[in-house]
Amino acid sequence: MSEDAIEVRIDRLSKLGEGVGSHEGRTVFVEGALPGERTRVLLVPDGKVLRGVLLEVLERSPARRDGKALCAVSDRCGGCDWLHLSEEAQRESKQEVLVSALEHLGGLSRTGFEVRPMIASAQAMGYRRRATLHFARGQLAYFGRHSHEKVPVARCPALVASLEPLPGPLSEALAPLAKDADEVQLLAEGGKTAVAVKLSSPVKEKHREAARKALSAVGLAGVVLVPKQGAVELVGQPVLRAPAPLAPQVPLYARPDAFAQANAEANAALVEAALQLLAPGGQERALELYCGNGNFTFGLGARVASVVAVESARVSLDLARRSAREANVTNVRFVEGDAQKVSEGLAAERQRFDVLLVDPPRAGAKGLGTWAKRLGVRRVVYVACDPASLARDARDLLTAGFTPGVLQGVDMFPETRHVEAVMSFNRAEGA
């Protein structure tokens, strides 16, 4: 392949956020290029695909903007990889990525389901209540763009107001932990902040002492020390509380070492969209897989006769059970275990459910169609954080006799290529 620069016209964005064009019949991926742009690139073979190093934008997209005006390290940091693209264009590209994945990976016709306009985030910046950082030469840092190179940050404009100035002073406060810390997780909720420190060693007294000092030094509610082996230790009060979405009478608890959606306002819209599409009825039985800390559970429980909620992460499940106890929620049964194994066990017991809500991790829910069919489910709502996994599991549901209903995208992560989606499926007559 010649090392001479060539011109490439960019047609679309890939699900990884790269510009996609073609050269001599082959697809070319160009980091930093936008749809509609004419670019000059240096081709770099990368296995079976071609990648182009962007040398110059010859014709700019009207959606292009200066990312550095929003964040000084936008050209290096891997956190906000679409700062150079307007928010409206981001949502258009994310919608196309979702539909294209369902079409090409899932085998669904574009006209075979309803596509609703994407729900925009209330804020494009300053929305993240969670973040994961790493130490680099004594400073907290994000991973770089498509790499594990570390980009130190003192402030981060993507974070909510209480976290935005925290990386710098937190680096100093947690300095005694730096050599043993694999990562530091931040969480803000209800006006309070907490952090989790994942350690490469057992918890030592110097770690506890640094955590105690950090409480007052940077105003933390608490610190979770998570050793590679041994028991987790809590310093202060790192369990934070907020009302459960669509069930404000239930306290929803979160901890920085457990999963929670990063965008609180968009998460509320996500839960509302999921329950609206599931359309649960008062006498129905619901099964929820990957329930986490109860993000969907309590809103769902308020609308059906009973819920069986399944989760494998002990920390998240303990938080959900605490919420249920304190709010006296009696129609939800929490089950700890792998979603597939628990579903197989429920089917073997001849358990039947009317509706299924599933919110799997990025890898998806392999075998979902089989579980849903064996459990007699009539309606499924799938919450997706990865378009490819949604497409594969949608194909599985179609094979099991379900038909697609509605696709609803949610712009949970503005300024990034990531997108959240909710999709409904209904069991076909006679299936």
Q: What is the 3-state secondary structure (H, E, C) of the chain?
A: CCCCCEEEECCEECCCCCEEEEECCEEEEECCCCCCCEEEEEEEEECCEEEEEEEEEEECCCCECCHHHCCCCCCCECCCCCCCECHHHHHHHHHHHHHHHHHHCCCCCCCCCEEEEEECCCCCCCCECEEEEEEECCEEEEEECCCCCEEECCCCCCECCCCCCCHHHHHHHCHHHHHHEEEEEEEEECCEEEEEEEECCCCCHHHHHHHHHHHHHCCCCEEEEECCCCCCEEEECCCEEEEECCEEEEEEEECCCCCCCCEHHHHHHHHHHHHHHHCCCCCCEEEEECCCCCCCHHHHHCCCCEEEEEECCHHHHHHHHHHHHHHCCCCEEEEECCHHHHHHHHHHCCCCCCEEEECCCCCCCCCHHHHHHHCCCCEEEEEECCHHHHHHHHHHHHHCCEEEEEEEEECCCCCCCCCEEEEEEEECCCC
Within a 10 A sphere around the Cβ of 427, how many other Cβ atoms? 18
- CA 258 to chain centroid: 13
Choose, from 71, 77, 80, 385, the residue flagged as catalytic: 385
The 10 Å Cβ neighbour count of residue 391 is 24
Reported residue count of the chain is 431
Count of beta carbons in the 10 Å neighbourhood of residue 350: 9
Active site residue 385: yes
* Catalytic annotation, residues: 385
